[in-house]
Amino acid sequence: MSTSSFSADDVTQFRRDGYIIVRGLATPTLCDQLMRLARQHLAARIAPLEYEAEVNYPGAPAALDAPGGRTVRRLLQAYAREPLFRQWATSPAMGGRLQQLLGPRVALSQAHHNCIMTKDPNYGSSTGWHRDIRYWSFEHPGLVSVWLALSREHDRNGCLLLLPGTHKMEFRSDQLDAAQFLRPDLEENREMLRTQIAAEMEAGDVLFFHSRLFHAAGKNETSDTKYALVFTYHAAGNRPLPGTRSASLPDVMI
């Protein structure tokens, strides 16, 4: 791993655009070890799991008993699965940078992300334009997710697409559908979508992105499953609201 801090320019970019990619933050050896564990857990169907048929996204199987219905979308509760996952999530490479973005006391949420994302080439679905904070419940919306690419991510295998700067924008309710996805049928939204960038990454690259940043992802049109390890963090003083899903599991101080 490289140093445990962002440059001043990095922090400025994150504040402006709502994301930053750190190239080669995880070593090839670490990525190989994490990938091997992820494949083992996927092959053994180690619970808890989320299936494509459960998300109802475009291209997903219609039901669990439909063809491809039990295609795994996420290996949930990554922090509790393996010591190596925990070590990455709480490493100095994470902690130092997150302190620059969130403040001196940082907590990992076990209730959100905290997973190995998989994208199957046959039944993996696409994801519309959304902000993660739409279904998270905290005192303040300023959370940061950290996406470690365990294999190459590019346009053909469904890498993340980002709308820079949207974490600072306000949106009217009619710009979003009932599930809080950005409506592509509106001209003002289509104009915004022309600014999208593809977060293409190699194994070991890490994307830090704001919980209010609009992002999407296409389908995997290659022959190989794509893997990424994803955790979400917040300032320790930014507490989850009692009784919500965000408060359903204890945070981890890092």
Amino acid type, 54? E
The count of domains in the chain is 1
Residue 237 lies in a domain: yes
Residue 84 lies in a domain: yes
Beta bridge partners of 229: 116, 148
Per-residue pLDDT, 58 = 79
The parent domain of residue 57 ranges over: 8-253
The Cα 240–Cα 251 span in angstroms is: 9
Q: CB atoms < 10 A from the CB of 10, how many?
A: 17
Q: Which token pair is 39? A: 């494949």
Residue 222 lies in a domain: yes
Amino acid type, 252? V
Residue 137 lies in a domain: yes
Residue 162 lies in a domain: yes
User: pLDDT tens track of the chain, all 254 residues?
Assistant: 457 899 999 999 999 999 999 999 999 999 999 999 999 999 999 999 999 999 888 778 889 999 988 999 999 999 999 999 999 999 999 999 999 999 999 999 999 999 999 999 999 889 999 999 999 999 999 999 999 999 999 999 999 999 999 999 999 999 999 999 999 999 999 999 999 999 999 999 999 999 999 999 999 999 999 999 999 999 999 999 999 999 999 999 99
Q: What is the CATH number of the domain that holds 126?
A: 2.60.120.620
Contact 224, 157 (CB under 8 A): yes
Classify residue 222 as exposed, middle or buried by CB count within 10 Å of its CB (0-12, 13-18, 19+): middle
Q: What is the mean pLDDT of the chain?
A: 96
The Cα 202–Cα 207 span in angstroms is: 11
Classify residue 174 as exposed, middle or buried by CB count within 10 Å of its CB (0-12, 13-18, 19+): exposed
Residue 1 lies in a domain: no
Residue 46 lies in a domain: yes
The Cα 117–Cα 115 span in angstroms is: 6
- pLDDT tens-digit readout, 168-205: 999 999 999 999 999 999 999 999 999 999 999 999 99
Residue 61 lies in a domain: yes
The Cα 25–Cα 194 span in angstroms is: 29
Give exposure, 99-126, as e/b (b: 16+ Cβ within 10 Å): bbbbeeebbbbbbbbbbbbbbbeebbbe
